[in-house]
Structure 1
């Protein structure tokens, strides 16, 4: 079967026990890059677990997505998990909306782990203000021409394709933007690694497009539907971030508890100090709150693409991860400054309150829907 017709599904097989299911990842070192982890997941047929009926076009399976992210987080660093999260939650679902040969080819290779794909939405000069982005696509009868630049994009240095959000018409109207699938080796495409040791393993980098010429079949989705598509799938990315946040906090708290119960202090250990126990317990409460909110919101976000619920998840995940990592960083003391220690993880985890929309931005989205949220609070057991 030619690669251009690879299906967006995987054969159904009997479920493996959780430990055996991700055995393919255990051959990789903890320092594996995002591209290496993605390849291992794809080769083992695990990537489609994030989707209902093992099909990207069927939509996200919240339980499968959480299971995948938890397995990756348990074994590898934040950059490698970031690399997978962005592709699973946003890039591949957007790519799957197109049935053109280039899109089908790219999706087939990505799902089998033979390629990575970027989500190149953030412009160099305008950041997350997407309606102000300057990257431009000119569409004519003979093809497309792209010009612009993107910054701080995960998987940039490893990607075979860049999924680029560009404007096809001047102005801020939401119908003025379109997705384009850009081969990494196309003339005029230049990639620069980001100046960051914290996220090097995610392939983070900057992308320059200098009069890149492509055929029209590299358009993804309908012209003018770029921002609605983004809004639909960034909601799922925010759900993924909250699920990952719970897994990360649990892992860090487990390591911290082990450290505190094993570190001598006086006649006992650090864990025997009431102040330490109370601070740790407060972290447990915060994570349980995030877990409950994530569980309650999962279907609304994954199936109905509820933007308000997704924004609330993003805000809660950013605040919770920051609180837990800051507290654990303090509880580890000087030992936290070792290479790969809690302070390094804490610096990387700041991404949760910044990437994909800063905490203040998503809180604005929640505020815009204040009356609906308040109405939902008056009806226990229901979501707004």
Structure 2
């Protein structure tokens, strides 16, 4: 049997719906199983999407999915849980209510189409437009590298209804995937095929006026309200991925013969592993400290800190573990393949450079002298 990483699954009847799937299942199949098993609602307080994220429930779901399936498939689930469904829940019209109900039940996936063809993560530069009429909306433009694009029943499209970069010039529109004028092309990415990633074009797509999500002009504030939860979810997932990788690597090192002992007996190996473990512990502590601030207070700086820390931690931990696996890490599905996929933690949802800018802007506040506890006064 090849010496490659394996999945250590969480035990318990709660995850039977996931355990029935093969490890190669796509994000869409996993989403269906979560919905059919009544598990999706666990990510939200009281099971209601509009009530906000349940920190433990969201983290538990992502850990369970990561333990069983690929990085790409887990990405498909994460984007929907943390951002797509909360944005969709802002719609009060029957079309939005129906789409949300179907998504929660696992009968449909939802694509969050924010990243524009020409703008990347600079959302105020996006060119996708929505023309608002008395009884209809017309959407024209394109979105690139959209998770769940090829499987979605609906696309949540961030579009501009007015020229310029002001934050009130953007609106979310719910667009059925089968509407005339919608064209989806799968992205050329073997690494992320399981996420349904693709490119979408909208050629004069017309939908009812009731397909606005939230209020006209509130697209960016609505997105900002939920991107923090996506960054928290990413950090929770990063903890699960790093912990699983370190467990597999520790098992590999303690079993792999070297001289009269194993690789684990080498001081250089143990120290390199310990540094990776230290990074994991640091990220765990940051997630525990920041979760409430992100979910309850919508603290953008805390969310940016989590995103930056997750990207750096995943890169260091998986890079270190990849070195410790040696040649065995290049097997199909091995650490080097996972490492390539995990590069998304430093890019997707806001590149490291973007979130580090947010952190730098808050330097004065973060470095202010903290108040002394009463016991020390």
Aligned to 1:253: 246
Question: Does residue 297 in structure 1 map to residue 261 in structure 2?
Answer: no
Question: Does residue 53 in structure 1 map to residue 46 in structure 2?
Answer: yes
Give the counterpart of 2:36 among 34, 43, 64.
Answer: 43
Question: Does residue 209 in structure 1 map to residue 202 in structure 2?
Answer: yes
Cα distance between partner residues in 2 of 1:31 and 1:375: 49
Deviation at 1:62, TM superposition (A): 0.5
Deviations 1:159-178 (A, max 9, x none): 00000000000000000000
SS at match of 2:144: strand
Aligned to 1:321: 314
Aligned CA-pair RMSD: 1.3
Give the counterpart of 1:126 among 91, 112, 119.
Answer: 119
Counterparts in 2 of 1:225 and 1:61: CA distance versus 1, 3 Å: same
Q: 5 Å matches for 1:1-384?
A: 19-375=12-368
Cα distance between partner residues in 1 of 2:367 and 2:209: 46
Deviations 1:26-48 (A, max 9, x none): 01001100000000000000001
TM-score calculated relative to the size of structure 1: 0.93
**Which segments of 5 or more consecutive residues in structure 1 lack a partner in the other structure?**
1-16
TM-score calculated relative to the size of structure 2: 0.95
Deviation at 1:213, TM superposition (A): 0.6
Deviation at 1:375, TM superposition (A): 2.9
SS at match of 2:148: coil
SS at match of 1:375: coil
Counterparts in 2 of 1:336 and 1:377: CA distance versus 1, 3 Å: farther
Cα distance between partner residues in 2 of 1:188 and 1:378: 58
Deviation at 1:280, TM superposition (A): 0.3
Cα distance between partner residues in 1 of 2:27 and 2:371: 43
Deviation at 1:142, TM superposition (A): 2.9
Task: State the aligned residue count.
Answer: 365
Cα distance between partner residues in 2 of 1:126 and 1:207: 14
Deviation at 1:377, TM superposition (A): 5.3
Deviations 1:178-215 (A, max 9, x none): 00000000000000000000000000000000000111
Counterparts in 2 of 1:349 and 1:377: CA distance versus 1, 3 Å: farther
Counterparts in 2 of 1:275 and 1:197: CA distance versus 1, 3 Å: same
Cα distance between partner residues in 1 of 2:264 and 2:116: 47
Cα distance between partner residues in 1 of 2:40 and 2:83: 13
Superposition misfits of 4+ residues, deviation over 4 angstroms: 376-381
| Bigger shift: residues 333-342 or 370-379 | 370-379
Cα distance between partner residues in 1 of 2:302 and 2:365: 11
Counterparts in 2 of 1:380 and 1:161: CA distance versus 1, 3 Å: farther
Cα distance between partner residues in 1 of 2:184 and 2:266: 51
Deviations 1:273-331 (A, max 9, x none): 00000000001110000000001000000111110000000000000000001001111
Cα distance between partner residues in 1 of 2:94 and 2:335: 45
Cα distance between partner residues in 2 of 1:380 and 1:136: 52
